[in-house]
Every structure is written in structure tokens, then in C-alpha cells.
Amino acid sequence: MPNRNLTDDELAQANIVLVDIRQRLDSLAGNDKNLLFAYRRKIVKELGYDERSKPGVRAKLKALKWGLQNRCCAHCGKEMPLKYSELDRKKAADGYTEENTELVHADCHHERQAVKGYT
Ligand SMILES: [Zn+2]
């Protein structure tokens, strides 16, 4: 299932929020470019976690799926080292859960994403 896109009105609303966030960060940081950089980094990191979960959560899920899949790629069925595996979400909006992910080779993941038109 393709990821949902924003309508024109929703995109306009998102851009209003973005302008607000930028203004608030500029106000917090004053003329300190390093502080503005740190605030941006913090916001980007936390919003990324909202979508992708924290790295430790994903690492635990990868190890779990690796065992459940008998160390094999869910795409090609071949054996796969944990280090070179990636979690592929069935529906991106449903996040990184046991039910919503499959562990696949990095190359197989890229192949899947290309088929879905994500690359
Ligand atoms: Zn594979």
C-alpha cells in the first residue's frame, strides 16, 4: 500500500506549522547559530523517532525477527547476516512492530522499495 500523501490543503497546513516551528526556533536561539543548529537537530531527531522508533527498539526488533525467520531473508529466502539486514515495514504508517515488519537483505529492501516507487 502506498504511503498517504497530503492534499493541497493539508500541505498548506503543514507549511504553516513549519514556518511556526522555524520562527520559534529562531526566537529561542537568538543570534546563536550553534544553538539554532542544536535545536534543529533535537527536533529532527525526535520527529524521526516518532516515525521510526528509537534505534534500540529497532535493534531489538531486528534480532527478534532474525530468530523468527530462522536467519533468512523474507524476500529471497536466502540466509542473511543480522548485520546486513534491514526491517521492511508493510505499511510505513503502522511503524516498526513485529506484525508490520519483515527482515530482509539490504539489497532486497532496495529492490522492494524500487518496486513500490520509493527510490
Ligand atoms: Zn534477500
Query: How much distance in Å is there from the Cα of 103 to the middle of ligand 1?
Result: 9
CA of 96 to the centre of ligand 1 (A): 19
Instruction: Please name the residue that has the C-alpha cell 529561542.
Output: 28
Å from CA of 26 to ligand 1 middle: 45
pLDDT score recorded for residue 2: 75
pTM: 0.81
- Chain Cα centroid distance, residue 112: 16
Quote the pLDDT of residue 76: 97
pLDDT of residue 47: 96
56 Cα distance to chain centroid: 13
pLDDT tops 90 at residue 74: yes
**Rg of the chain over all Cα atoms, to the nearest angstrom:** 18
Q: What is the pLDDT of residue 72?
A: 98
d(CA 58, ligand 1 centre) in Å: 19
pLDDT band at 40 (very low <50, low <70, confident <90, very high): very high
pLDDT digit string (tens) for 10-38? 999 999 999 999 999 999 999 999 999 99
